[in-house]
Amino acid sequence: MSLSDDDSAENSRAGALSVMSEVARSAELTVEHPVSRCFSDDDYESIIDLAWRCQFDDDRATFRQGLLDLETYLEPRILALEARGDE
Amino acid sequence: MSLRFNSISIKNFGPYQLVDDLSLDTTPSSPVILIFGENTFGKTSLFKALRWCLYESPELNLSKSAALRSLGDYLNRPARLSGDRDMEVRIEFTYEGERYDLSRKCQFDDEMKPTVVADLRVGSKVVSSHSIEAEIGRILHPQISEFFLFDGELLGDFYDKLESDRARELLTENIERVLGIPALQRAKQDVHGLSESAFLQYSKAVTNEMAAKEAGVEYQKLKSNKESKEKDKIEAEASLNTARTSLAEVSELLFSAGDLIADARELETTEATYSRLRREEADLVAEMSSIASQGWLAIVSPLLAARLLEIEAENDAANTVQDSLREARNRAELLKRHLSGGECPTCSQKLPPPQRNTRDQLREIEEKIRVLEESSGSGPNLQTERSLRDLIDLDSAALYREKQRALDILTTSIFTAKQRIETLSGRLQGHSEIQIRDLAKQKGIFEGNVRRFEARITIIDGEIATILSKQKKLFKKLRKEEGVPSVLTAKRDFFAYVDDVLGATIDRYKDKTREEVEATASSMFLSLIHDPESYKGIRIAHDYRLTLENAAGEETNTSEGGRLLVALALIGALKKAAVRGGPVVLDSPMGRLDKGHRENLLRDWVPTLGSQVILLVQSGEMTDEDLDESLAGQVSRMYNIVRPSSNHEIAEIVGVS
């Protein structure tokens, strides 16, 4: 979900998302955090969307709740990863 | 939808007595509004009205108190003279699909003391007056507005700003705000908090009691230490803000005091000059009095001089007759000797025998002598001439005239000095040198405080970074512990990862954005200038130090016009990269550019500015050709600022079809 349909906001949000996807693929993070394998592009987009939607207006409680919801959503994948003993 | 202005209404602001609902609506395909106005007609006043309504201050970087003090300058003078002392600006705008109605009114009392009231409605909801500033800041932060509402005349300053470390730091903060970095930073803070909680839950569940206990105690210690440091940082930041505000206020007072100090010095000098001039005046008057008493005849000297002139003329004429007589007598004597066969009276040589007409010549000359003797009278009256000369005191009169001229000059200087003293005394009334010195002292203290708090914050940041690193090590150490419920491990790993990924994203995003801004600004700059082959582009360092590079990649200087283009290119690049866009309002952006640069700006730069661009221009800045060629089809509305009468203090805005 995007904060607004303003072109510049969209550019900036997309820019931040593109950077997050890029750093998430870096060896430094993937080696240190095997859990990164459970994240898809949509999940990074959700994090950026949450930040854009809530943090500009300082709505930190909504942001934290959104992130907890994302963790709950990803938990089965992370547990499955752990169960496979990949970690 | 982002912020978009719908209309503006103005009452008694600057030259505008009444502007009722001026539509600023644009369409995406025609985003430009042109408002034409000649110099001094009121373009900048319109710009300032907009800024005042939004941010309480008609000018950028003016403190609230200074802005309030300046408001009297903006009240329409004819309205004020007629007793109407109410000033108001109202802007209707749309933001995120909601309709906003913001008005700011200022009433002046009999002593021109202003009282300002603001009113903001979102749809039918009234926003509390205490929340208006925050609400407007949320929509278009005043610091961000610096990039989007700007005065072309100040573009040179924009470039110069980047020369100072403090200004660059502020600019970097603003740029990061424009780009949304603080939102990501707040997100990271929150994720870090969640990560800490998840880790503590996890450590409590670790079955290896010893390890869990050690890790729990250590982690709690680090957490508490970090919280304490963060608290210190918040306090230091608050103190820094207070010190900066105080410094700004004292600097502003000192700026005015700087004028006062100069006034005081000038007053001292002018008073000394005045005293000296008065002494010289007294001396001159005394001298003139003495000349008048000693040379009293000087008073009648003009009459005597006239008579002397007559006598001199008479005597000159008598002398001429005497000369002619003498010459005639000599001639007669020569002719007589000629007839009597005598010698020449001059050379004593024997004269030749007389000619036939010698006797006739003698008769003629004797007749001339008779006539001359009759007309010569008693000869020149040299005695009268000498007496008159003695009577006329030419020296005293000349001296008196000279002194009178000096006195006239002196009187003018005394009058000017006295006027200046009155002006300066008026300005200095109520201020003392001690007060001014105190202000300078306070400024030094606040500057010291700002430096101290900045250094303190840097130290705290370092300490927090060290704690975070220790937390991370502890996290790794406990990672492999067995027997912890999987859900807690999952939470711990999830938040630790998101925390790190956000941190890496912020660092990379800052760098990437800077690189993008640099690339866009460079490309815009090269498209605006006439000689792109002479430059490689604009380089932006990590601290946003701006340099211009020549074709060989070496740092180079540019002209005043080049600096304007660099500033415009940077503004365009920031606008392109910005998170929360909005209208761009430019007051005289092309005033200092030549035709070619203007065309480049209209064709390549204006279209990059987004969906609402309001250009306040004078006729010289934009021609019909520019309109037809460079802005073809992009203009939604055009207005003219006109003077309905010969009164230059009243202007109106009328639509152009």
Write the pLDDT tens digit of every residue in A7-55. Answer: 445 556 788 899 999 999 999 899 889 999 999 999 999 999 898 888 7
- For chain B, the average pLDDT equals 83
Across the interface, do A57 and B581 touch by the CB < 8 Å criterion?
Answer: no
Ranges assigned E (strand) in B96-245: 98-108, 114-122, 125-127, 149-151
Across the interface, do B579 and A56 touch by the CB < 8 Å criterion?
Answer: yes
What's the pLDDT at A7?
A: 47
Q: Does A65 touch chain B (CB under 8 A)?
A: no
* Per-residue exposure over A54-82, b if at least 16 CB sit within 10 Å of its own CB, e if not: bbbeeeeeebbebbeebbeebbebbeebb
Instruction: Say how far apart CA B575 and CA B26 lie, in whole Å.
Output: 18
Nearest to A78 among B96, B493, B575 (CB): B493
What's the pLDDT at B15?
A: 95
Q: Which chain B residue shows the shortest CA-CA distance from A39?
A: B494
| Predicted ipTM of the assembly | 0.91
Write the pLDDT tens digit of every residue in B313-357. Answer: 888 888 888 889 889 988 888 888 888 887 777 777 777 888 888
Under the banding of pLDDT at 50, 70 and 90, the label for residue B578 is low
Write the pLDDT tens digit of every residue in B83-97. Answer: 999 999 999 999 878
In single-letter form, the type of residue at position B349 comes to Q
Nearest to A63 among B187, B500, B579 (CB): B187
Across the interface, do B501 and A20 touch by the CB < 8 Å criterion?
Answer: yes
Across the interface, do B487 and A79 touch by the CB < 8 Å criterion?
Answer: yes
Write the pLDDT tens digit of every residue in B136-157. Answer: 877 776 766 766 676 666 666 6
Q: Does A71 touch chain B (CB under 8 A)?
A: yes
Nearest to B1 among A5, A55, A56 (CB): A5
Q: Select the more confidently predicted residue: B447 or B214.
A: B447
Alpha-carbon gap: B509 to the closest alpha carbon of chain A (Å): 6
Closest CA to B571 of B537, B503, B525, B628: B525
Write the pLDDT tens digit of every residue in B370-418. Answer: 888 887 777 788 888 888 777 776 677 778 888 888 888 888 889 888 8
**Per the structure block, which two tokens stand in for B258?**
């700087």
What's the pLDDT at B9?
A: 96
- C-alpha distances (whole Å) from B368 to each of B26, B325, B361, B439 are 110, 8, 11, 101
**Per the structure block, which two tokens stand in for B256?**
């005015």
Residue B52, phi then psi, degrees to nearest 5: -65, -45
Chain B environment of A64 (Cβ under 8 Å): 190, 193-194
Q: Angle at the Cα of B17 (from B14 to B20), degrees rounded to 5? A: 115
What's the pLDDT at B147?
A: 65
C-alpha dihedral, B371 to B372 to B378 to B382, nearest 10°: 160
What lies within 8 Å, CB to CB, of B626 at 6+ separation is: B598, B599, B602
Instruction: Say how far apart CA B420 and CA B267 lie, in whole Å.
Output: 8
Size of interface A-B (CB pairs under 8 A): 136
Residue B546 has pLDDT above 90, yes or no: no
Nearest to A35 among B486, B494, B579 (CB): B494
Q: Does A30 touch chain B (CB under 8 A)?
A: no
Instruction: Say how far apart CA B254 and CA B439 lie, in whole Å.
Output: 6
Write the pLDDT tens digit of every residue in B488-520. Answer: 889 989 999 999 999 999 999 888 878 888 998
What's the pLDDT at B94?
A: 92
In single-letter form, the type of residue at position B120 comes to L
- Provide, rounded to the nearest whole percent, the portion of chain B with pLDDT above 90: 21
Residue pointed to by tokens 């792109």: B532
Mean pLDDT of the B54-62 span: 84
Q: Which helix (H) or strand (E) holds A79?
A: helix A60-83
Write the pLDDT tens digit of every residue in B448-477. Answer: 888 888 888 888 888 888 888 887 777 766
DSSP 8-state code for residue B593: -
Residue pointed to by tokens 């959700």: A46
